[in-house]
Amino acid sequence: MAENGRRFPALSLATRNLSRQRLRAGLAALGIVIGVFAVVTLGLLGNALSVAATEELGGLGDQVIVSPAEGSDAESLDARDLAAVQRAADGRGTVVPLKTTGGTVRASGGRTVAQVYGTDSPQALFGNGSGIVPAFHRQGAIVGADVAEDLSLRPGSTITVEGNEYRVVSVLPEVQSISPLQPDSAVVLPPDEFATSGYSQVVVRADSAADARAVADEVDRRLNARQERVSVFSLTSVLDRIAEFFDLLNGFLLAVAGVSLVVAGVSIFNVMLMTVSERRGEIGVLRAVGIHRKQVLRTLLVEATLLGVVGGAVGAVLGVVAVVVTATQTELPLWAVLLPGNALVPLGAFAFGVLVALVGGLYPAYRAAWEPPVEALRG
C-alpha cells in the first residue's frame, strides 16, 4: 500500500477512504451490482432469444409460395404462370410446382387423413440436404414422418391413397423448423398421379431471404400487373416483423435495466455527497497544505469510480453466470448465449456502470474540491 500510495496517491487515498465506511460503500456498490446485473441478464437473454428464434424460423424466410388469387376464377396455376415464376426466380433459387389435395391414406396399420402433394422434385422442398429424399420422383409415394409413424410405414410398405395403391419409396425425416408446408403429415406423389393439369401452388426455395424478397416482388410485378391473378406469400416480411419485435423487446428490456443503473448512479451521488460533507475539514486541510483542486477532484472521482468498477465487475460476472445457468436449465440453447458478439453485453454494461458511478461522483467531488479551504476548515 505504501508503495502504491507513492505511485498512485489518488488511488491510495480513495481506497483508504472507501474502507472507512465499508457498509455505506458496499451499499452504493450494490446498487451498481444490481443495475449491471439487470442490464447483463436482460440484454443477454434478449439477444439469445432473438438469435435462437431467428435460427428456428430461418427456413421460413427463404420460401415464396405463389398460389391462385382468391378473387380470381382460376383454381390452379397454368404452365404460363409457372414459366413466369421460373423467369422471376432465375438465378435466385429453385422453383418447385406443387399440386395439393387432401385425402385419406390407408395401409395395413390403419387409416389417416393426410395432405397430398404432387411434385417431381421433392428433394428441393423436403430434402433438407439429406440423401433420403430422391431428387426426382416418378413413381411410388414419399410419406411424412407423422404419417409413417401413425400407419407404421417403412420404405417398401404399401399404401392406398384415394383408391390407388402406391409403394412407399422413402420416409421424410421429421421437420424441425417451422415451414408453410406440412411435410410431416403429408404424402408426396408424382404429379402425374393427379387428374388436374394445373398446379395449386408454386414454391420457390430462394437462396437467401433477400432473394426471396426479390422473387416475391418480381412475381407480383409479372403476374399481377393487370389484375390480381396470384397471391404471393412470403414470410420474409413476417420475419422482418419478428426481428423488429425482438429489437423493440431488447430495447425495452435494456431501458428498464438502464433505469436501475441510473438509480444506482443517484445512490452513488448521494453517498459521495454525504462523504464529502463529512470530510469537509479534511478536504480543507488537503487544499491548505498545497494539494491542488484537480488533485482533490481526481481523488474523489477515483473513489466514486472504484465503486462502479467493483460493482460493475461483480454485476457483470453474476449476470453472465445467471444467464448461463438459465440456459442450461431451460430450452434456451447455450450456444445462443455464448456467441462471441454477446461478450459486448457484459463489457458494455460494465463500462456503463463505471460511467454512471463516475458521473454520480462528479458534482459532489467538484463541489468539495472547489470549496474555498477557509470555509471548509471553519467546519
Partner 1 sequence: MRTVQTSPVELAPPLRLVDVSKRYDSGAGGEVVALSHVDFAVAYGEMVAVIGPSGSGKSTMLNILGLLDEPTSGRVELRGQPTVGLTEKQRTDARRESLGFVFQDFHLLPTLTALENVRLPTAFLPGDATDRARDLLERVGLGDRLDHTPDELSGGQKQRVAIARALVNEPDVLLADEPTGNLDRETGTSILEEIRRITDEEDVGVVAVTHDDLVTDYADRTVELVDGVIQDG
The residue ranges that bind partner 1 (CB under 8 A) are 2, 5-6, 9-10, 13, 16-17, 19-20, 281-282, 284-293, 295, 372-374, 377
Q: Are strands 93-107 and 201-206 parallel, antiparallel or unpaired?
A: antiparallel
Cell numbers given for 361: 461522483
Q: How far is the CB of 357 from partner 1 (least distance, A)?
A: 20
- Quick one: 297 or 336, whose CB is closer to partner 1? 297
- Quick one: 17 or 236, whose CB is closer to partner 1? 17
Q: How far is the CB of 257 from partner 1 (least distance, A)?
A: 35
- Quick one: 215 or 283, whose CB is closer to partner 1? 283
Identify whether the C-beta of residue 119 lies closer than 8 Å to the C-beta of residue 125: yes
Cell numbers given for 16: 483508504
Q: Residue type at 310?
A: V
- Quick one: 7 or 80, whose CB is closer to partner 1? 7
Q: How far is the CB of 354 from partner 1 (least distance, A)?
A: 23
Q: How far is the CB of 28 from partner 1 (least distance, A)?
A: 18
Identify whether the C-beta of residue 243 lies closer than 8 Å to the C-beta of residue 50: yes
CA distances from 320 to 2, 339, 351 (A): 36, 12, 15
Q: Which residues contact 371 (CB under 8 A, 6 or more apart)?
A: 280, 283, 284
β-pair partners for 142: 170, 188
Cell numbers given for 257: 435495466
- Helix ranges (H only) for the chain are 2-7, 9-20, 22-57, 79-88, 122-126, 145-150, 209-223, 236-278, 280-288, 293-329, 334-337, 344-370, 373-378
- Quick one: 254 or 376, whose CB is closer to partner 1? 376
Q: How far is the CB of 293 from partner 1 (least distance, A)?
A: 7
- Quick one: 30 or 377, whose CB is closer to partner 1? 377
Q: How far is the CB of 3 from partner 1 (least distance, A)?
A: 10
Q: How far is the CB of 288 from partner 1 (least distance, A)?
A: 5
- Quick one: 20 or 138, whose CB is closer to partner 1? 20
